Structure formats: structure tokens, C-alpha cells
């Protein structure tokens, strides 16, 4: 199935995110024809409905193939075929199908990895529900995902991966300069980075003999939340399925692959984690049973190190391999965490310990001395405040979301936030994130720092309001857990 242009009117982009389910995005009434339809009948249906493609279905609406305008040119006109021939003889079979609850992000990754322009959406019985085209996903074709996908598909070694990474950085810079909405920009950049990581993992797996067990590469930290910036280092792990007695041998077989992937990602611009929270570290390459035991220890004995480790791990998102393993892990962990237990309370206290750098006399509290004099840290004193508070609220309400924005959306009703209050929180969070994206690349310690005096007056006002929203979110968290 080859790449094809999107057709049909996409939903209002402002109402959607990369976490939106395909049920909200798919063309609800796709053009369809039965298996015994002719090419001429298929074309007539496409013309009548003004669609660029038609899905060929069984009487039970199970999709068997797709026929597009590009197929008309290549397989009918240029091949000298007759319009009376069955459409089944010229359609593209082997459709890629996703469920309605799959996200736009998953659809974008699927299309890019397989070089296709559409996926079909099917219900639990495999019946056609809708069609999602590349053009429906926030204009991904226009912002460079095709070029990145082509580069990654052609990459067969580290040099090729590095060239693709450079293209991704160029696309991100272009999107930022175009003024793309902060949330959409963040999700698109994360999608492109995911594609790069997946290609790294594919090539690394080709270079090593992996054990024949279900395995999943997991993104954690800001990558797991899809909130990466220019200075994002690696936070990743592996979950595999193996009996307790076999786990050590499976881990030893996976570690060389994981370390290769970590090194290649570093060479592509994602620094190694200083705390070594990476899949190449045996502590972060565990069986499903070992992961459950680790979370059990963190919950039962929430030492300072346990809190630090769990902060990273609770943002876990499956990226490559058996996603079901991660979902099983997440479900068990959320069910095991007591809402009013010490584990949640310590996470909340840690989230409330760092306050937004707002001054009573001056607008901002900045470093008064040292190498970062007159600056404040937008990550530590901005984005992290939003992310930490949202994570704790998700724990309290046992929510599976990993993105800060999606966590806030999910808890807004429970916090009795009005739509306007929720919008203000999200705008504050993404304004800080956009400022971080605008900063020049550099070492992590300096890459997130800004001198408020160097900002435009409007940006200073908006930053102050964003930090006020962070303070408001902390008050909501304190009230939720009665920590005031």
C-alpha cells in the first residue's frame, strides 16, 4: 500500500490533539463499494461522494482493500485496463487497521512507518468504522513528516540516522518559526522523535540476536509524556515477558541491544541520562514480574530514591514492541497505589516543595549570583511544576494518561475547574514549553535558563501569568489531598 494524499474535510484542529481518539478524527462515512463492484462503479462512487479513495468491503463491512485515484492512473489508465474489470483486481489489499480508541499519534506513527497515507478504523469485530488519512492529522504532510519518514526508511546505519535527526531538528525549527500552536508543535516534534527512535531500535535489533520473548521498549520522563525539548536526555526502559527463572538470561541477551540503541540515540542528539535511567542499565531492563515487584517496593517503602525512580517510571509509554505488556503493568500499578497512602503523599509533597519563581516586589525570583545570575530555570521552576502536580493528580484518580495536558483534562471535572480555568492552565504550561523550545541548544544545565529582562515585554507578562497558573495548580493539588 503506497502513500496517498488525504481527502475529506478534517475536524477542527483546535479541538484535537495527538492524543485524540481516531473515533473523533476518522471520516465517519467513508466511500465503500462491494467486492463484486467494477472499476467504473468504484469511480462513480468516488465522484458522487467527492472522495479520493474507496474502501472495498464484504457484506459484513469488513474492509478488504482500498482503491485510490493514484491506483486509477497506475493500475487502470497506464496499464490499459477496462472500467468493466472488477475493482478487486486493481485495489490495494492488506490494509492497516486500528481501533477507534487508538490515538492520532498512533495513526501517524503507523502511516509513517509503513509509508501509507491512510489507515482504516475498525470495531472489535473487524467491521469498518471509518478512514483516517494523513491530511486529517493536523496537516502532517505539510510539516515534514513525509520527508522525515523517507529519510528514516532510507537509513541503514548510524550516519543515515544522524542525517534524519538533523532533518527533524530543521523541521522543528521551521515549525517554531511559523508560530504553530504550542501543543500541536510539541506533539508533532515528539512524533518525529518517536519515528527516529523506532528506526534506531529496528536497526539495533538487526545488529543483535534478540531472545524470542515479548518485549517492549518504553519511553519515560518527558519522552513518555511527549514533552521533549531541544535539551531532552534519554529516559527509557525495557519490559519483557519471561518466567522468573529465565529473566536473568533474557536480560543479559537484551542488554547489548539496549546499549547499542542508547549509544545511537546519543549520537543522534539525545544525551545519555546522567542518572542512567536507560534500557541499557540492568535496573531498567526488567521482566513484567520484576517491574511489578519494583513498583511494589517503591509503593511499600517510598524512600527518597524510590520517589525519584517512580517519578520517571510513572510516565511510561510503550514505543516499540509488545504494547500489551506495558498496559498490563500500568493497570496493575494504578490499582495497587492507595489514594491516601504515604507513596502519594510523598509525591505530592515533592511536587509542592518547589514553588514558581514569582516575586512580591519584582516580577520574578532569579539567581542573584553564580554562573546563571539574573536567570531562572524554565524546566525546574516552570514545566516541572505543572508536570509533577498533574502526575500526582493522575495517581490520586488512577488515570492511565501520561501527558501533562491529558492528565489535566482528565482531572479537570474532579477538580471542578471551569473550561476557562482548564484552558488557562494548559495555555500557561504550553507557553513555558514554547519558551524552552525557543532557547538555543546547549548543555542541559544552561539550556532551560532565561533572563526575564531579555524577553519581550509581552512574553514577560505571559510568563508571569503562566507561573501564576502553576501556583494555582499547586493550590488545587494541596486542596485535593488536604495538604494546606
What does the pLDDT average to over 27-43?
Answer: 90
Q: When comparing pLDDT for 363 and 266, which is higher?
A: 266
In this prediction, residue 441 has a pLDDT band, given cuts at 50, 70 and 90, of low
Q: Is the pLDDT of residue 241 over 70?
A: yes
Q: When comparing pLDDT for 389 and 367, which is higher?
A: 389
Q: Is the pLDDT of residue 27 over 70?
A: yes
**Domain parsing of the chain, residue ranges:** 13-138, 144-201+215-336, 342-480
Report how far residue 374's alpha carbon sits from residue 252's, in angstroms, rounded to the nearest whole number.
Answer: 48
Q: Which three cell numbers stand for residue 102?
A: 487508538
Q: Is the pLDDT of residue 315 over 80?
A: yes
Architecture of domain 13-138: Roll (3.10)
Q: Is the pLDDT of residue 114 over 70?
A: yes
- CA dist 57 → 37, 66, 134 (Å): 10, 9, 21
Helices (H), 69-213: 69-71, 104-114, 145-154, 158-178, 182-206
Dihedral of the CA atoms 178, 232, 222, 18 (nearest 10)? Answer: 30
Q: Is the pLDDT of residue 43 over 90?
A: yes
Q: Which residues neighbour 312 within 8 Å (Cβ) at sequence distance 6 or greater?
A: 220, 221, 235, 277
In this prediction, residue 9 has a pLDDT band, given cuts at 50, 70 and 90, of very low
Q: When comparing pLDDT for 156 and 112, which is higher?
A: 156
State the pLDDT at residue 206.
94
Angle, CA of 393, 417 and 310, to the nearest 5°: 10
CB atoms within 10 A of CB 465: 13
What are the tens digits of pLDDT across the range 205-225?
A: 999 999 999 999 999 999 999
Report how far residue 311's alpha carbon sits from residue 314's, in angstroms, rounded to the nearest whole number.
Answer: 6
State the pLDDT at residue 191.
85
Closest C-alpha among 184, 215, 171, 212 to residue 319: 215
Q: Is the pLDDT of residue 290 over 90?
A: yes
Contact between residue 272 and residue 234 where contact means Cβ atoms under 8 Å apart: yes
3-state secondary structure of 336: helix
Compute the mean pLDDT over every residue in the chain, rounded to the nearest whole number: 88
Q: Which three cell numbers stand for residue 408?
A: 489535566
Q: Is the pLDDT of residue 476 over 60?
A: yes
- Phi (first) and psi of residue 120, to 5 degrees: -95, 150
In this prediction, residue 139 has a pLDDT band, given cuts at 50, 70 and 90, of low
| The CATH number of domain 144-201+215-336 is 3.30.460.10 | yes
Maximum mean pLDDT: which of 25-29, 129-133, 310-314: 310-314
**Which of 1-15, 175-189, 224-238, 351-365 has the weakest average pLDDT?**
1-15
In this prediction, residue 2 has a pLDDT band, given cuts at 50, 70 and 90, of very low
- The model's pTM is 0.81
| DSSP-derived secondary structure for 389-431 | HHHHHHHHTT----SHHHHHHHHTTTTT--HHHHHHHHHHHHH
Q: Which residues neighbour 229 within 8 Å (Cβ) at sequence distance 6 or greater?
A: 222, 379, 433, 436, 437, 447, 448
Cα atoms in the Cβ-side hemisphere of radius 13 Å centred on 105? 24
What are the tens digits of pLDDT across the range 48-79?
A: 988 889 999 999 999 999 999 888 988 998 88
Q: What letter does residue 13 receive in the DSSP assignment?
A: G
State the pLDDT at residue 444.
55
CATH of 342-480, one of 1.10.3470, 1.10.10, 3.40.50, 1.20.120: 1.20.120
Q: Is the pLDDT of residue 244 over 60?
A: yes
State the pLDDT at residue 144.
61
Q: When comparing pLDDT for 302 and 111, which is higher?
A: 302
Q: Which residues neighbour 398 within 8 Å (Cβ) at sequence distance 6 or greater?
A: 334, 335, 337, 339
Amino acid at each position: 500500500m503506497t502513500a496517498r494524499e488525504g481527502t475529506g474535510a478534517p475536524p477542527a484542529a483546535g479541538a484535537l490533539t495527538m492524543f485524540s481518539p481516531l473515533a473523533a478524527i476518522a471520516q465517519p462515512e467513508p466511500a465503500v463499494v462491494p467486492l463484486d463492484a467494477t472499476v467504473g462503479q468504484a469511480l462513480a462512487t468516488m465522484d458522487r461522494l467527492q472522495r479520493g479513495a474507496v474502501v472495498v468491503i464484504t457484506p459484513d463491512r469488513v474492509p478488504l482493500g482500498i482503491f485510490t485515484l493514484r491506483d486509477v492512473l497506475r493500475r487502470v489508465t497506464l496499464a490499459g485496463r477496462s472500467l468493466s474489470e472488477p475493482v478487486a483486481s486493481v485495489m490495494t489489499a492488506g490494509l492497516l487497521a486500528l481501533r477507534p480508541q487508538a490515538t492520532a499519534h498512533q495513526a501517524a506513527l503507523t502511516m509513517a512507518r509503513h509509508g501509507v497515507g491512510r489507515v482504516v478504523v475498525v470495531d472489535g469485530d473487524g467491521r469498518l468504522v471509518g478512514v483516517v488519512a494523513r491530511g486529517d492529522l493536523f496537516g502532517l504532510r505539510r510539516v515534514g513528516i513525509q520527508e522525515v519518514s523517507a529519510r528514516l526508511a532510507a537509513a541503514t546505519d548510524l550516519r543515515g540516522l544522524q542525517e534524519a535527526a538533523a532533518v527533524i531538528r530543521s523541521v522543528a525549527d521551521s515549525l517554531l518559526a511559523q508560530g504553530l500552536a504550542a501543543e500541536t508543535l510539541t506533539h508533532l516534534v515528539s512524533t518525529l522523535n518517536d519515528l527516529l527512535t523506532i528506526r534506531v531500535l529496528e536497526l539495533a535489533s538487526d545488529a543483535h540476536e534478540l531472545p524470542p520473548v515479548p518485549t517492549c521498549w518504553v519511553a519515560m520522563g518527558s519522552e513518555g509524556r511527549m514533552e521533549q525539548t531541544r535539551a531532552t536526555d534519554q529516559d527509557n526502559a525495557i519490559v519483557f515477558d519471561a518466567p522468573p527463572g529465565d529473566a536473568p538470561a533474557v536480560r543479559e541477551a537484551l542488554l547489548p541491544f539496549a546499549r547499542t540503541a542508547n549509544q545511537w540515540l546519543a549520537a543522534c542528539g539525545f544525551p545519555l541520562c546522567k542518572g542512567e535511567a536507560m534500557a541499557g542499565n540492568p535496573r531498567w531492563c526488567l521482566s513484567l514480574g520484576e517491574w511489578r515487584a519494583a513498583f511494589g517496593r517503591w509503593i511499600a517503602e517510598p524512600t527518597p530514591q524510590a520517589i525519584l525512580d517512580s517519578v520517571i517510571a510513572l510516565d511510561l509509554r510503550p514505543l516499540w514492541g509488545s504494547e500489551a505488556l506495558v498496559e498490563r503493568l500500568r493497570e496493575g500499578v494504578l490499582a495497587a497505589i492507595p489514594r491516601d497512602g504515604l507513596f502519594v503523599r510523598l509525591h505530592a509533597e515533592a511536587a509542592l516543595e518547589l514553588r514558581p519563581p514569582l516575586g512580591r516586589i519584582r516580577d520574578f525570583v532569579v539567581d542573584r549570583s553564580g554562573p546563571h545570575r539574573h536567570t531562572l530555570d524554565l524546566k525546574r521552576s516552570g514545566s516541572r511544576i505543572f508536570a509533577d502536580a498533574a502526575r500526582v493528580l493522575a495517581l490520586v484518580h488512577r488515570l492511565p494518561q501520561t501527558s501533562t495536558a491529558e492528565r489535566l483534562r482528565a482531572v479537570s471535572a474532579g477538580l471542578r475547574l471551569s473550561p476557562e480555568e482548564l484552558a488557562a492552565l494548559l495555555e500557561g504550561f504550553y507557553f513555558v514549553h514554547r519558551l524552552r523550545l525557543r532557547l538555543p541548544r546547549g548543555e542541559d544545565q544552561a539550556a532551560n535558563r532565561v533572563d526575564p529582562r531579555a524577553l519581550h515585554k509581552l512574553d514577560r507578562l505571559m510568563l508571569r501569568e503562566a507561573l501564576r497558573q502553576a501556583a494555582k495548580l499547586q493550590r488545587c493539588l494541596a486542596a485535593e489531598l488536604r495538604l494546606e
